[in-house]
Structures are given as structure tokens and as C-alpha cells.
Chains A and B, each alone.
Chain A
Amino acid sequence: MADVGFVADFSGALFWEEQSLLVVSDLHLEKGSSFASRGVLLPPYDTVATLSRLAAVIARHDPRQVIALGDSFHDREAHARLSDGDREALAALQMRRNWIWIAGNHDPALPSSLGGVVATEVAIGPIVFRHEPTGAAGEIAGHLHPKARVPTRGRSIERRCFASDGERAVMPAFGAYTGGLSIRDAAFARIFGSPGFMAHVLGDNRVHAFAASRCY
């Protein structure tokens, strides 16, 4: 994208090798406890599940820098509800790494006690990282949780995906409890203008590319 080569990891992370930069979006940590406070007692294991998947992809690429592309926490108080164990696991991932929290609509303000730095957006070379997509060229964003349904022999398969037209990209949500929005939704048409973009669909151990017009 914009003459930069990215690796779309099947976990839903994006890796920029030259910069040793790993990007993940929409972790929605503590979504379970957020629902619980409203009476929906979801299993309280989503944060540990998300962090252990994050640990696995970090171990695979061993990046020097990590960007969490916004909505890292499900609500404004979510960071305060992290268990001691999850807090330690997060600190271990941040050790010896540049860690950037991009502010999202769910987590517009994060305390410094979380480690890392907080920013509204980050530009590296021709690329801008921000939470909500604007459709600008060179933009990598999250927020929309793209998913695609792919017709295959006998049945169709629905998975999270990256959406990109080579000029801009929307990343899949990484969190264990994050749902998705079909890439055929009007929100994607607004960003990409035409349906001529690709869906990079997350498989079990690789990413599969489809024209978005073939998915639904």
C-alpha cells in the first residue's frame, strides 16, 4: 500500500517489516465486564483471551513498535477493571517496545499508568494511522470491524477481514468479543468509493484475498 509492503497476519494484525511495526485494532479489552455491569454476565475471560492472542502474534514477529489502533478498551473505565494478571501480561508485552495507544471512540482518554504513549493519530512516512477511517489516501484505520461472507462449494463462510484498495485500508477487529460489519455495508462504499476493493479474509493459518464484490 502506497509503496509500502505490509504483511496481513492471519490473526488480524498488520506487520510493517522495515519499521518493525505491528498494528492491531479494536481490542475492546474488558468488554465482558462492561456487559456484566449492565446485567449481561458474559464470561469474564475475553481480556485474557485477547491478550494471549496478541502475545502469540508479537512472539511471531517480535516487533520493536506496536500500535493499538483505538478502541483498545471497551469503555472509559475499562482500563481500571483489568485484573492484576492481565495488567502484568500487558506490561510484559510492552517491555522493550515502543507502544502507542491511538485514542478511539470507546477509549478517548487513557491514563499514563497503562504504559506506552497515547496519541490521536500517528504518521510514519506516507502512512497515517488513525482510529476512524476518513477515506484519505495512505490511511490505515479500524473502527468498522470489517467481515466478509465468502461463497464456497456447498456453503458460505463468514470471517473477519482486512479491507483495502491499495490506497487505504480498514483493519479487522482483534478482540475476542468483537463482532463485525459486512464489507457490503454502505460505510465501506463511502470510504472506498467503489466496490473495487479487496477483502483479505482471515483463515485458520493464512489470509485469503477476494474481490469485495464477490463477497457479501
Chain B
Amino acid sequence: MPLGPNDTPYPSPQPSPARGEGALPAIAAEPRKTFVSTGRSVRRSSGLHTLYISPLKALAVDIARNLETPVAEMGLPIKVETRTGDTPVSRRQRQRRYPPDILLTTPEQLALLLASDDAPFLFSSLKRIVLDELHALVTSKRGDLLSLGLARLWTIAPQARAIGLSATVAEPEQLARFLVPQPGGASVSADVVTAGGAAPPVVEMLDTRERLPWSGHSARHALPEVYELIKRNKTTLVFVNTRSQAEMLFQDLWRMNDDGLAIALHHGSLDVAQRRKVEDAMAAGKLRGVVCTSSLDLGVDWGDVDLVINIGAPKGSSRLMQRIGRANHRFDEASRAVLVPANRFEVLECAVAIDAIAENAQDTPPLRLGALDVLAQHVLGCACGKPFLSDELYDEVRTAAPYASLSRTDFDDVVDFVATGGYALKTYERFARIKQDKQGRWRVTNPKVRQSYRLNVGTIVEETMLKVRLVRSRAGGHGSTGAIARGGRMLGEIEEVFIEGLVPGDTFVFGGEVVRYEALVEDQVYVSRANDKDAKVPSYMGGKFPLSTYLAERVRRLLDNSRAWKALPDQVHDWLSLQRKFSRVPAVRELLVETFPRGGSHYLVCYPFEGRLAHQTLGMLLTRRLERARARPLGFVANEYALAVWGVGDLSFMIRTGKLDLNALFDPDMLGDDLEAWLAESALMKRTFRNCAIISGLIARRFTDEEKSRRQVLFSTDLIYDVLRKHQADHVLLRAARSDAATGLLDLRRLSDMLSRIYGRITHKDLDHVSPLAVPALLEIGRESVYGEASDELLAEAAEELVREATT
């Protein structure tokens, strides 16, 4: 029996042989699980037998390496190969003609293999499909793409069985549906195999000697203590939630690094070569600490990590368990982790996360409904392979769990979109990308379509990234227009949206140092070294992932149970007691709304605990309503727990005199017309639409050389959004974007659930001044960008400011 590097006996998951369906072993430890599954799945050697799919190509390569050794040692006649974006063309061609016994690959590569004529030859002998880190795949559009690929495989190789592997799943039964063909109507699941016996992790919260900050995410107060922990352990992984936090923390740790400990930085926008260097040093055991982001949540086991530190909010219990699992891969020993909350609210979040981990309570999001833009990509892929009949493909697609309830209308609209754009105005018949032959089978009309599909396959739409280069500051500094030296050392890449918010002369932290933004020339951002200790632009853009609904619920329950406060640090206990004295601590089901005057403005603060994204959307909609009620709102700021709106109108007075009805203000009907009006303008909605336009293949992101030589290949999707919204509001791409908005950047579903939960349960506190609970939110004003879409007023204000400057 093939085993891993150390000899700990490993409990083998036993798929139930009786039904022969797929199986989902939910295993609590990471290391050798894949061995067991793939190792025992191979029995003979003729054609492709086992397909292994992982979300990370590095993981596929790692597993392949670990499989090859025992296969070679035992002299088994088994050929193991990987296929990723890095695989040379010659080997890819050979793999098609002479497939290995075991192929390790990614969902995108599977889609590419399926979109070819020889897919039936390649896959007809398939027996086993192993899906690794399945929980990480199924919650995204990549999972949709994978599910459609599985549906194809079940048609080509009905004998194939799928096995899913996951260490963190909230509802294994739901995930298990993903692994077997859905029969239409009813729902079937694979068997669930749970491997137990792993030692529970030891997790504690840092009980800081310092004063706990009211707000902010840097956890600077606790850095000496974090440094001590790194010093006392062999190798420590320090997780933070965002790239910019990683930058700041790394810089701060270096400043206090009197012992010269080898501490490195690792995040997704660093140069690849630099990341590889860090990974190699880590694997060689040369590093004492690595500051990293979710870029290391999953994946390759490198080095001997003995402690995980999580700085800031855990966001979700499964996410945190995944991170903690990075420490100590010996199955029978406990992983150790320390949580470092950066502010008082985060203490509450850490406390409930520790309880959740002790109960092994998972909170991965539920299975998604399959997205229509991904389906469009798949339909085009199918047409690139063998021609298909609509009826047959419709039936096949519905065997994929995320698409089990897909309506025929949606399916036909998607096919129409792939063919001619799906427009009510039928003018593109002659430009069709796919056409039906006499038997009604859809096929690609020309080889360029196939080529473009191959170049653009996949569902990960990256932000437009700009290259950051370090140059010398030009003379004159701010506002100067002199030429800057080109070239310069490449520091890494940064999101275009972030740079768009900067003015030349602004400073920010990048690559572990404070730099000054000099200029943007094409796709290059030129920065110079700034001598400032602190960056002017904090660039905390918020975590990508909001606080999970599950942890939010637990935080609300903790607040409501004052006896449980005793377990919290004294500072937090006192803070909550003060809140109870001066205002009120919100009960589990209610929404607390506080109003108070402060510095000439009037504030309204509420505490929905639904995460920043949902709060931002709520803020947009509330300010619209307050404007209509003549409360003259000026702005709002949202964090993970609260939303604060301020304005000119005396909100307390308006509520007292009945001019403003809170129940009406928070009425769920705001998700009707107000939302519609806002969506027309919303930059977030436009970004959501852009993703759909790219994934569906309306707009290409990668081009053939011939296309590149022609200018004007790029096209702004914002312009398409505006025109389409006005002239065909029910277009399939707008439908796809709307359904993304429910869970994505606007988090509408969560907002809608919250509004129904609190309806009729609003408690208003009319206060003379700011409450203890409101302080953190108010402190974020000025530090966070103030949201508002009234761009014309902002333009007018900026223009007037200039006039004042010029005339005084």
C-alpha cells in the first residue's frame, strides 16, 4: 500500500461498493489522502484510467511527483502524467494519441480536452475521476465549468465514477450530489465517507498586553507579540486577509527584526520568480516566517510549519480551518494556531470562530446554481468538438448538479447567444459563430472560432493588472509633467482599479516598501522610493470574502448572551458593558439603529453584521431613500459589522416626529425600484457584467497574433452594459450578471435575507452622542473611501474647489 513520507497508519476511506456510485470522503487532514484514492484506483493499463483534477496546477504537479516515486519503487506498469497550462505542446499532442494511465490536471485543461474531436477516444476507457479540494471548486464558476465537464465525461464514459476529496465541507450530502449524474427531477447523492481520528487543532486567541484598537485592520499593537511567537517557533505562517495588509505587516516586522530572522512575503501579485524563490526557501527549511494571503490557503505542502498565526478577522470557520491545516501535516498531532484580532469587533469574531472549530462546525457556502455565462462557454466548447443536437445537450447538461434545474428557455437562449449574440434584433445571422446542419446539429462555422475558444477558456477573470516599476523620482515631484525615466526594476503587479483611485504623488506600500506613484504609461505604473514612514493611501480594500453568515449569527448570539462576555478579554467586556449602559446591545433577531448628532452632522448607525459587501449595497440604497425623505445624506461608510450614514438633516428629530419611519426606510421593497435605478449607474454592477461578458465569450481577453496586429481589439464592456440595458434589458448576459449580483460584489441575497429577518424588529436608540459600539465604524470615515454614485455633484464640487483655489 503506497504511503506518504512518514509511516503513520492512515485510515483508508472505503467507498461503498454496493451501489458503485461516486464517493465523497470528507477527510479532516490533508497530506496523503490523494494517494490512497488514486493509488488503489489503478488496476490495469490500457488507455486513460484515472483523471485527477485539482484547483491548483502546482497541486497537480506535486501529487504527480508523490505518485511517481512509489509507482517506480514498486515497478508498477503505470504511467502518470500532468497536463497544465505549462505543459509543452509536443507532450500535449502525445498525450492525446498515447494517453497515460493517470492524468493529473485542472478544470480548464479538462474543458480544452473535451472540446476536441478525439475526446471520445481519450476518455472512453475512463474508470475513476478524483476531484481534489472539491469545496474550493464548487463555490465558484470554476465549479460550474467542472460540473459541465463531468456531465460530458458521464456521456462519453458511463462507467466512470467520481470521488471528491475535501477537508472542510459544511454539508457533505449537498456536495455529494456534484459527483453523480442527476437524473432530472429527483436528486441523487454519492456516498459520504468520513475519515476521523485526526487530532483536533489547538487554537487560541492572542491575549494582548497592549490596548486593543477600536478599529483598523493592521494589528500593529500586537506586532511585538507576533514577532515573539515567530522567534519561539521553528517555522510560522502568518496569514492576513489582503495583499496590502501583507505588505504593511511585512514591512513592520522587518523594522523590529533585530535578530535578523529570515522572514519572507508571499502574495498573489508579487512577481512569479520572487514567489518561487520564497517557496523554495520555505521547502528547504530556510525561513522562520512567511507573511502570506489566501494565495497559500490551499495546496502544496512545503516545509515543516509548526505554527499558524491568523491576523485579523477569520471570516469563516471553514476558511480558518483550512489555514490552520497548513500547520503540522502529521496526522496524529494537533495543528497549532494563534488568532490575532486587529480590533474589538474582530475579538468577537475570533471568539466565535474558536468555538466553531472546537465543534468542527463548517460554514462553506451552499452549492451554487449554475451560471449562464459559464454554460455559454461550455456550449461553444461542445460545438468545437463533435457537433451536438440541442435536445441531447440539454439533457446532458442537466445531469450536472448545478444545472439540474436549468429551464429549456434559458438553455435555448444561451445557444442563441453563442450562435448570434441572442439579440431580439436579428441582424447577425450571417456572422453566426455556430450553425445547424441539415440534421439540426450545431457546429462551429469557422476555425477562428475554435481558436478563440481555446485561447479564452476558463472562468477566472483577473482584474486588469498593471506592472509596477521602480524608477527615480523626477525633479519637481508632485504635479510635474517632466518625462520620467523608463525601464526600472519590476516590483510586481497591481490592480488597475487601485491605481485609478490615485493621484501622482500619492504614496502607498508595495513590495514591502513605501513608494510614490509617479505616472501611468500604458500598462506600466512608475513608482519611486518614498522616504515617508507611512503611506498616505492605506489601500485597505477590504477582504475579498465577507464574514460568513454562520459566524455572523454566532457573533449576534454572543452579543445577546452577556454571561458569555466573561470569557472575552477585559477590554472587550468593558466595551460591551458600556454599550449596554449608554445605548443597547442588539438582540439576536433585532436590528439596532442609533441616531446622534456629532460635529455638525447627524448620524445613523445600524448593526446588521452581514459583511461589508451587503452593507455597501444597503448604504447605497439607504442614502437614495434618505435623499427622497429630504434628510440630505452626505455619505456613508460600511465595515463587516455596521453601516454608518451621515447627513445634514436631523435624523433623530425626523424619527421622533414621525417624518422618517424606520420600518419604511428598511422595508425590503428597497430591492425593487431603488435597486433598479442604482444598478443602472453602479460601477460594481458594471464590473459584474464585465466578468459575464468575458466568461461567456462575448469579449475576448486573449487574442491570436493576427488579431493583435489589428488595432482596437479591446472594447469597454461598460459601453455595452449601458446600451444593452436600455435596449434589451432581459438579455441573457444581463440575467447572468443579475444572478451574480445576488452573491457577488453586491451580495444582494444576504441583504434581502437580512431585511426580511429584521422586518418589524427595529429598535431605535435616540442618543446625545456616539455610542461605544458605533465608534469603530465612525473611525473608518476618512480612512475608507466614502461611497456615493452622485458623480455629477462630485465633479461640480471639484471644479468649485479649483475656482476657490484660483481666486483666493
Contact = CB atoms under 8 A, between A and B. Distances in A.
A153 B786 contact: yes
A163 B428 CA distance: 37
Interface in A170-216: 176-179, 195, 201, 203-206, 208-211, 213-214, 216
Contact of B501 (A43, A155, A195, A204): A155
Interface stretch (B97-105, B113-121, B794-802): B794-802
A36 interface: yes
Interface string B511-554: 00000000010000000000000000000000000000000000
Contact of B428 (A36, A152, A195): A36
B791 interface: yes
Given A40-B699, A41-B428, A214 B797 contact: no
Interface stretch (B38-46, B198-206, B720-728, B760-768): B720-728
B727 A216 contact: no
Interface string A18-38: 000000000000000101110
Contacts of A9: none
A176 B724 CA distance: 11
Contacts of A177: 715, 719-720, 723
Interface residues of B, number: 46
A147 to B, nearest CB: 11
B425 interface: yes
A210 B728 contact: no
Contact of B795 (A48, A179, A208): A208
A209 B799 contact: yes
Nearest to A41: B421
Interface in B705-740: 714-716, 719-720, 722-724, 726-728, 731
Interface in B661-713: 698-700
B373 to A, nearest CB: 14
A134 interface: no
Interface in B436-495: 448-449, 452, 479, 481
B45 to A, nearest CB: 43
B323 interface: no
Interface string B754-773: 00000000000000000000
Contact of A39 (B431, B785, B796): B431
A119 interface: no
Nearest to B722: A176
Contacts of A36: 421, 427-428, 431
B433 A43 contact: no
A135 to B, nearest CB: 18
Interface in A139-153: 149-153
Contacts of B698: 40-42
Interface string A98-116: 0000000000000000000
B431 A43 contact: no
Contacts of B428: 33, 36, 41, 44
A49 to B, nearest CB: 5
B713 to A, nearest CB: 9
B795 A201 contact: yes
B73 interface: no
Interface string B391-425: 00000000000000000000000000000110101
Interface magnitude class on chain A? 35 or more
A46 interface: yes
Contacts of A43: 421, 423, 720, 723-724, 727-728, 731
Of the listed residues B719, B728, B731, B785, the one surrounded by the most CB atoms of chain A closer than 10 A to its CB is B719
Contacts of A41: 420-421, 423, 428, 431, 433, 698
Contacts of A33: 427-428
A45 interface: yes
A149 B500 contact: yes
Nearest to B446: A39
A44 B423 contact: yes
B786 A176 contact: no
A154 B727 contact: no
B503 interface: yes
B794 A157 contact: yes
A150 B715 contact: no
Contact of B796 (A149, A154, A203): A203
Interface string B628-659: 00000000000000000000000000000000
Contacts of B785: 154-155
Given A35-B715, A195-B481, A44 B425 contact: yes
B798 A45 contact: no
A177 B728 CA distance: 16
A24 to B, nearest CB: 17
B715 A203 contact: no
Contacts of B501: 155-156
B799 A216 contact: no
A21 B781 CA distance: 49
A208 B421 contact: no
Contacts of A210: 798-799, 802
Contacts of A195: 481
A158 B731 CA distance: 27
Interface string A76-97: 0000000100000000000000
B427 A216 contact: no
B795 A157 contact: yes
A152 B433 contact: no
Contact of B720 (A42, A154, A201, A205): A42
8 contacts: A39-B452, A42-B421, A44-B421, A44-B427, A46-B723, A49-B723, A49-B727, A208-B799
The 7 closest A-B pairs by CB, nearest first: A41-B421, A45-B727, A152-B794, A152-B798, A204-B792, A208-B799, A154-B785
